[in-house]
Chain A
Amino acid sequence: TVGCVAVDASRNLASATSTGGMVNKMAGRIGDTPVIGAGTYANALCAVSATGKGEAIIRHTVARDVAALMEHQGLTLRDAAEHVVAGVPRGNFGLVAVSVSGEISMPHNTTGMFRACATEGGYSEVGIWPDD
């Protein structure tokens, strides 16, 4: 699964996700990617794209949950994203997210996640494993 989230200079947020699904999936199986709020979500606070086991991502509505924790509990993007990832059994998924203020979070509970990010302030990261 591939995905991208961004906030532009005018503070617009957007999220996009695309996938082939899972190896050996049943024909006709729908995963999390096209289910808005499961693996993809964006509002005025943040944008989220998830990757991993679609059924787990749907059950936990992970993308919308990140936004809801920010909206209703006042959590930062990082705290909200890490809270959601910690609430799903290990080995299931990861996500990338940006907030309207330009904060980035890329937590995962799998062994690794291919990921990259950059900010206007000059921060940049490309990695696979947690300690990259």
Chain B
Amino acid sequence: MGWAIALHGGAGDIPRSLPPERREPRLATLRRCLDLGVAALQAGRTALDVVELVVRELENCPHFNAGRGSVLTTDGTVEMEASIMDGTTMGCGAVSGVSTVVNAISLARLVMDKTPHIYLAFQGAEAFARDQGVETVDPSHFITEENIDRLRQAKQANRVQIDYTQPMEGQPPKDDNSRTG
């Protein structure tokens, strides 16, 4: 059947009333990233290169929860995570707790390609990023006004929210799992 590609930009309680100005930029980015991946596959790039390429583009879009546009911790900080896996070799790499790396997915690829390890986190991942010379920026680069507002709403409702889930007013019941994830 030849090549195939699929991508996602997050799941959650996405209301059908989502206004066009919030829906269309995301759909346009999905189409653009899909076209990018298709072109790369048609050009003979490997699946591993293609998934990294596409996820980098999605990370660079502030409308999605990764890279620029990442949601905020309770402290108002960004802690990004990424992983990549090659099905042919079973090679894999992952990072978490990065706050300055522009494309966490490429840092995960470097963990896979350049270290004997699978997973680096927090200070170790940041130090590795600098050793490898990957692009880094001030953490404020990743923070959007929309996500500052989402954090404020989530704190008011005392909730932890997955992508696109609308904040609920008031205290959740004590047995509500979503309060702790």
Contact = CB atoms under 8 A, between A and B. Distances in A.
Contact of B47 (A8, A49, A120): A8
B83 A22 contact: no
A48 B107 CA distance: 20
Given A2-B65, A6-B51, A33 B81 contact: yes
A51 interface: yes
Contacts, number: 340
Given A12-B46, A18-B81, A104-B4, A110 B160 contact: no
B90 A117 contact: no
Nearest to A13: B87
Contacts of B119: 34, 36
Interface residues of A, number: 79
A10 B50 CA distance: 13
Nearest to B147: A23
B7 A14 contact: no
Contact of A112 (B1, B37, B94, B164): B164
Interface of A: 1-10, 12-31, 33-36, 39-47, 49, 51-55, 91, 93-98, 101-106, 108, 110-121, 124, 126, 128-129
6 contacts: A2-B55, A29-B79, A33-B83, A51-B8, A96-B6, A97-B6
